[in-house]
Structure 1
Amino acid sequence: MPNWTLNEIAQAVGGKVFNSEKTDQVTGVSFDTRTLTEGDLFIPLTADRNGHDFIQSAMDKGASATLWSDPIEHAPKEIAVIQVEDTLKAFQSFAKDYLNEVSPKVVGITGSNGKTTTKDMVAAVASAKYKTHKTSGNFNNHLGLPLTILDMDRDTEVIVLEMGMSEKGEIHVLSEIAEPDIAVITMIGESHIEFLGSREAISEAKLEIVEGMKQGTLIYPGEEPLLETRIADGWVDEKVKTVKTFGKQTGVDLYSTEIETEMKQTRFKTNQEPDVACTLPIPGEYNVQNALAAILVGETLGIEREAIYEQLSNFQLTKNRLEWQDGVNGSVLLNDAYNASPSSVRAVLRYFKGIDVPGRKIVVLGDILELGDQADTMHRELHEAIDPDSIDELVLYGEFMKALYEKMSGKMEKSKLHHFAGDKDKVVAYLKDTLQPEDTVLFKSSFSTGMLEVVSKLSQDEKQ
């Protein structure tokens, strides 16, 4: 666990220290009093609420110092205070300064889907040769990224940073903080189209990941014309020295061959290693693309291919991504309800259709959010990815899923098709009544729909 003196922090953020006699150093950083631990530096952020209002709670939890941008006469006298103009900018400057001090290789990862899985794969690959630190969970925004940096040990050699966004300019900020040596774009999909308006605008926002680079390496899906066109037009020339591409067929640097998918794992070969198979401990052909990106990162870091494949065969996926769980009534749950886009829903449905299971197949889909004016259309078009003959029941939840329900009403027997508007407990109750031994249930939804609560209430794992 890193620690810093007050003077080190003040110098990094351009602040002034008060009450320095109260402590000499801090041993952690927190902007949330619910997770703050003794010895932390408290970061009182100002957004919907003024974080300075929570200073007493922070002191009660053991904060040893705080940043402070409110009038200094309102600052506490019981702990050390570092006065700054803007606590958020100071927090980010602190992280950037510490990153420069430790000076690890920085891998930044963004994309419409697959960021977290790719992050987990890349971190596993990098750890074959280097001490590696990665984003925890989905701490991938303007707060989570600096917190991830400040949580790394001083002897870290590679840091893997997931970079998320909801609107233009956000990844630019993250890239300027992180200054990635290697940048990965997983794919361009429809996520956040509500705020950006088009896939073209999404591709431009994702390319912001190179704006903090200094002649680094960009790894991206070479079969994505929205990226290919912009890169060919010189969008990245000033920042990127090397580009590497991955995909599904010839024309890119690394592409997959001979993919075999099973219920809980996936095997594939590549054009560069045509006689050697790589086995992933997760299902889904679409995850091969994430693995190809991780292979190219490993190659860039100077890791042998044999070691890369070994690490990929054992990597640990972040919770709630394609996670198998024992369910009620002897059922089996496949939990992929942490995030969703039309592209990722189609991909997981293709995988689910292709696996053999001992009992019935049940698909539970919740609303896909942040699609704006295109929400009804994009939900309705999901019918193309659903084969009524390959599933036994389709359970839809949420306001937008009504569009898909209406479309599927003409394709499925009424007894197999169900829609629940706004009460998750009704979904839980229905599934508890209907699930049988050896049923396999896929859950896919955007996080904010609360579908994870449904999974939790149906999971035997959670009850133990």
Structure 2
Amino acid sequence: MKSLSLKEIALAVGATNDLTKWETIKIEKVEFDSRKLTDGALFVPLQGENDGHQFIQSAIDKGAVAAFWSASLETAPIDFPVLQVADTLQALQDLAKYYLELVAPKVVGITGSNGKTTTKDMTEAVIRSKYQVHKTKGNFNNHIGLPLTILEMPETTEVVILEMGMNHAGEIELLSKLAQPDIAVITMIGESHIEYLGSRQGIAAAKMEIIAGLKKDGTLIYPGEELLLSELVKVLAPKQRITFGTAKSNNIYPVEIETGMYETKFTTNVAPEIKCSIPVLGTYNVTNAMAALMVGFTLGISVEVAAPELAKFNLTKNRTEWLDGLNGSMILNDAYNANPTAMKVVLDNFSELETAGKKIVVLGDMLELGELSSELHASVAAHIHENAIDEVFLFGSEMIHLKEQLSINYPVEQIHHFVEDKKAMIQQLKNSINQKDYILVKSSLGTDLLSVVMELKK
């Protein structure tokens, strides 16, 4: 973060109290978690399950040199600078918007039902071939994480990549208006959060909110074969729209794809002479890579320049990563996020792998599917076949619907369902796993199958 004076920050957020005594103090970092504070930090006490104001002494002890303050000034610490604001979260967002304008990088916003973190990581690799780039860490992609990501930017940042997540309508709009992207990316429209948005149409409309803050001459990059977006994108001029996908009607599409356990190679119509490589499994990841290449293209980066960096991009943990498992097995860990569309494509790609051992899938409940949950869980059965998958372990109450559907055509003795007893499932898995077996673990984060992955690791 570029150092800012307290006077500068006060003006940016509209602080209402007199800070004459403190206005030359320099702020080196902004943080809302008092446990993570360092010297020279501005503390932002947020209202959540706890009132952040109560941790002010801890913040001071950790090195905070100032704080936003929306409580009464009478409760503020003595002889310590606080900036009186109506809402500390709004002040955080206002400061982020000011800082973004100050550093003035190109802004890339990425959203989607699935693949946004992988696409973010791929996009960072493509862009770093030419520019100094800063990106969202982990899943800091909401109304708190996004402004903090902006405020962590070095002042030399030329392009910032901001992942935008949501659960409800209106949330992406807020993030887009704050970030004002030059380039917006929608990775896919799936079923995530359908419980709150009612339908895939509702999800598509929520993802399209990413153009709410798109600059006048900005560009939207989106899956061209997604019919739910075909009408919504018409609010933008044709020259502002770039599509990716498998069909030849897209601006970029794959010409050839070669899949492997650790690597996927492909060529595109944009540069058919250049073989691109990504260090991850799955043809579905080729679409993410093409979206990243189109971000680069928009910023003047050719496929020839981008390809070497794309080949060694760093994938955020717990997304389709191979781990050494017990008894000489291999675990494909994808237990961070799940919706029916994503689960199906991962199963399809996993089914195609060749191994001398068994192929085992461990699937957990997919959350926030609302009234469609039973139907959507059951629909996954069409992607699990006896000749490709040897054993199926299901965890959670909603997975009963997949078990019932799967039992129609799949050997019931090879289906194991556990509603709550994770320890029993882990033990049965340990008893079943042998050398050269492949195990796929896929679920929503809230199901906590990451703990199962930890138990099955070598």
**Aligned AA for 1:70?**
A
Q: CA deviation at 1:287?
A: 0.5
- Contact preservation (8 Å) 2:333, 2:442: yes
Structure 2: distance between partners of 1:348 and 1:302: 32
Match of 1:133 in 2: 134
Of 333-342 and 252-261, deviating more is 252-261
Structure 2: distance between partners of 1:376 and 1:29: 44
**Aligned AA for 1:224?**
E
Structure 2: distance between partners of 1:345 and 1:334: 13
Match of 1:164 in 2: 165
Match of 1:225 in 2: 227
Structure 2: distance between partners of 1:40 and 1:423: 44
* 1:266 aligns with one of 264, 267, 292: 264
Of 403-412 and 180-189, deviating more is 403-412
1:325 equivalent in alignment to 2:323: yes
Structure 2: distance between partners of 1:3 and 1:39: 9
Equivalences, count: 456
**Aligned AA for 1:28?**
K
Structure 1: distance between partners of 2:154 and 2:24: 22
**Aligned AA for 1:339?**
N
Deviation digits for residues 20-76 of structure 1 (CA, Å, limit 9, x no counterpart): 459812221111123222322111111332211222222232222110001111111
Q: How does 1:236-247 map to 2 (within 5 A)?
A: 236=236, 242-247=240-245
User: Helix, strand or coil for the counterpart of 1:254?
Assistant: coil
Q: Judging changes above 3 Å, is the alpha-carbon distance between structure 1 residues 76 and 400 closer, same or farther for their aligned structure 2 residues?
A: same
Q: Judging changes above 3 Å, is the alpha-carbon distance between structure 1 residues 422 and 17 closer, same or farther for their aligned structure 2 residues?
A: farther
Match of 1:121 in 2: 122
Match of 1:392 in 2: 390
| Identity rate, percent | 52
Q: CA deviation at 1:103?
A: 0.2
**Aligned AA for 2:224?**
G
**Aligned AA for 2:420?**
G
Match of 1:9 in 2: 9
Match of 1:366 in 2: 364
1:48 equivalent in alignment to 2:68: no
Match of 2:179 in 1: 178
Structure 2: distance between partners of 1:421 and 1:447: 16
Match of 1:248 in 2: 246
Match of 1:34 in 2: 35
**Aligned AA for 2:49?**
D
1:405 equivalent in alignment to 2:407: no
1:87 equivalent in alignment to 2:88: yes
Structure 2: distance between partners of 1:457 and 1:40: 38
Q: CA deviation at 1:17?
A: 5.1
Structure 2: distance between partners of 1:310 and 1:125: 9
Q: Judging changes above 3 Å, is the alpha-carbon distance between structure 1 residues 298 and 344 closer, same or farther for their aligned structure 2 residues?
A: same
**Aligned AA for 1:90?**
A
- Contact preservation (8 Å) 1:6, 1:17: no
Q: CA deviation at 1:201?
A: 1.0
- Contact preservation (8 Å) 2:7, 2:19: no
* 1:346 aligns with one of 310, 323, 344: 344
**Aligned AA for 1:4?**
L
Q: How does 1:288-307 map to 2 (within 5 A)?
A: 288-307=286-305
Q: CA deviation at 1:457?
A: 2.0
**What TM-score, normalized to structure 2?**
0.96
Match of 2:334 in 1: 336
Structure 2: distance between partners of 1:219 and 1:289: 12
User: Helix, strand or coil for the counterpart of 1:418?
Assistant: strand
- Contact preservation (8 Å) 1:219, 1:243: yes
**Aligned AA for 2:294?**
L
Structure 2: distance between partners of 1:78 and 1:399: 55
Deviation digits for residues 75-123 of structure 1 (CA, Å, limit 9, x no counterpart): 1125321111110100000001000000000000011111000000111
What RMSD, in angstroms, separates the aligned Cα atoms of the two structures? 1.5
* 1:311 aligns with one of 309, 312, 326: 309
- Contact preservation (8 Å) 1:428, 1:454: yes
Name structure 2 gaps, 5 residues minimum.
none
**Aligned AA for 1:260?**
E
Structure 2: distance between partners of 1:49 and 1:360: 48
User: Helix, strand or coil for the counterpart of 1:419?
Assistant: strand
Q: Judging changes above 3 Å, is the alpha-carbon distance between structure 1 residues 117 and 20 closer, same or farther for their aligned structure 2 residues?
A: farther
